[in-house]
Amino acid sequence: MSDYNTKWTVMNDLEDSFSRITTIEFLSDKLVEASDNGRYDDVIDISHALLAFIPVYTRDFDEKFQKAWKITIGEEYQKNPSKFSEEVLKYKLENPDINDF
């Protein structure tokens, strides 16, 4: 796979992962609706759904973000670290979980 295609793929995967946030918005809207209408069994069910979904969503997003960072930023950093701004380097120091940078 070409370098461009690899970068496009990881960024597309990251976008796909982020777009799943609409599920949280949908469940939140349904939670408010159930609460406003006194459907407390639904409130409980939706609350449990949110609590179950959010860790799965964040874990998936974090994995995709780290991979995208590694491929789009990390590889360039390895080639020429002097061209990176202080902000990028500060971000790396503040986020040590981003590997291979």
pLDDT tens digits, one per residue of 13-68: 999 999 989 999 999 999 999 999 999 999 999 999 999 999 999 999 999 998 88
Q: Does 84 map to a domain?
A: yes
Q: Does 83 map to a domain?
A: yes
Q: Does 51 map to a domain?
A: yes
Query: Which helix H or strand E contains 5, and what residues bound it?
Result: helix 3-19
Residue 84 pLDDT > 80, yes or no?
no
* Structural domain that includes position 31: 3-94
Q: Does 82 map to a domain?
A: yes
Total domains, the chain: 1
The three-class DSSP label of residue 39 is: coil
Give the residue from 56, 68, 50, 51 showing the smallest Cα distance to 13: 68
Q: Does 43 map to a domain?
A: yes
Q: Does 99 map to a domain?
A: no
- pTM here is 0.66
